[in-house]
């Protein structure tokens, strides 16, 4: 008999039926303990595709609380690097006339197909709600009427002259740094995006110790 405590499975974990969907370098997996896990293999590295909430952004980065409302009111040009499936850009895109810009090389169309397939599996209610939520977000990221998507890593943005000095605000919750792996170059690319006059703002989650 297993006692409830640290290391013991939660009831919902016991109810989960694990599965994995593979499509090229992408994986959508349901694990007993971890739940939904989405990854992408790029240049020999396994990169997690995350779906952080706005509250997580405001709590774990230097983004000020309530910033999304300010961005809407002021009509700011927001650029997010390595957005994954986070909530911030979809929420902004649905309530602001100016389309946000996303620098993200993941294949949203492929993820939509894979996550839609995942929804056909037997899922507990919380997992089904999460899958539905991230599919909706992926559809917004992939919709050119709502988001200006540049499907490249940050290291390639200088190919796009129209991006130079375009951003009132750049957001990077470590996504860009994951792709470049080089702090000096990463900051150079961020500065390429930011406006000079008045200077754009950079909100991020990287705080070296």
Query: Global pTM?
Result: 0.88
Which pLDDT score, from 0 to 100, does residue 191 have? 93
CATH classification number, 11-204, choose in 2.30.29, 3.40.50, 3.30.56, 3.40.1420? 3.40.50
Question: Whose CA is closest to 191, among 204, 209, 178?
Answer: 204
CA atoms within 13 A on the CB side of 59: 5
pLDDT score, position 177: 62
How far are the Cα atoms of 14, 20, 77, 186 from residue 192, in angstroms, in the given order? 49, 39, 14, 10
Tens of pLDDT along 152-187? 988 899 999 999 999 999 998 876 666 665 666 888
Mean pLDDT, the chain, whole residue set: 88
pLDDT at position 4 over 70: no
Confidence of residue 42 (pLDDT cuts 50, 70, 90): confident
**pLDDT greater than 80 at residue 16:** yes
Of 51, 84, 81, nearest to 180 (Cα)? 81
Mean pLDDT of 10-24: 79
How far apart CA 18 and CA 36 sit, in angstroms, is: 9
Tell me: pLDDT of 12 over 70: no
């Amino acid at each position: 008999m297993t006692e409830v405590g640290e290391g013991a499975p939660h009831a919902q974990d016991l109810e989960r039926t694990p599965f994995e969907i593979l499509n090229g370098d992408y994986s959508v997996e349901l694990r007993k303990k971890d739940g939904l896990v989405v990854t992408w293999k790029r240049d020999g590295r396994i990169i997690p595709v995350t779906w952080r909430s706005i509250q997580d952004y405001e709590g774990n980065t230097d983004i000020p609380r309530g910033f999304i409302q300010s961005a809407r009111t002021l009509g700011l040009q927001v650029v997010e690097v390595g957005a994954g499936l986070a909530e911030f850009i979809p929420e902004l895109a649905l309530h602001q006339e100016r389309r946000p810009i996303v620098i993200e090389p993941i294949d949203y169309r492929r993820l939509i197909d894979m996550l839609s397939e995942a929804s056909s599996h037997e899922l507990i209610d919380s997992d089904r709600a999460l899958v539905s939520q991230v599919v909706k977000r992926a559809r917004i990221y992939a919709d050119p009427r709502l988001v200006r998507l540049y499907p490249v890593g940050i290291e390639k943005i200088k190919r796009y002259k129209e991006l130079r000095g375009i951003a009132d605000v750049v957001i990077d919750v470590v996504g860009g740094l994951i792709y470049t792996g080089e702090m000096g170059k990463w900051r150079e690319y961020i500065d390429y995006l930011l406006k000079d006059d008045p200077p754009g703002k950079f909100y991020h989650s990287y705080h070296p110790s």
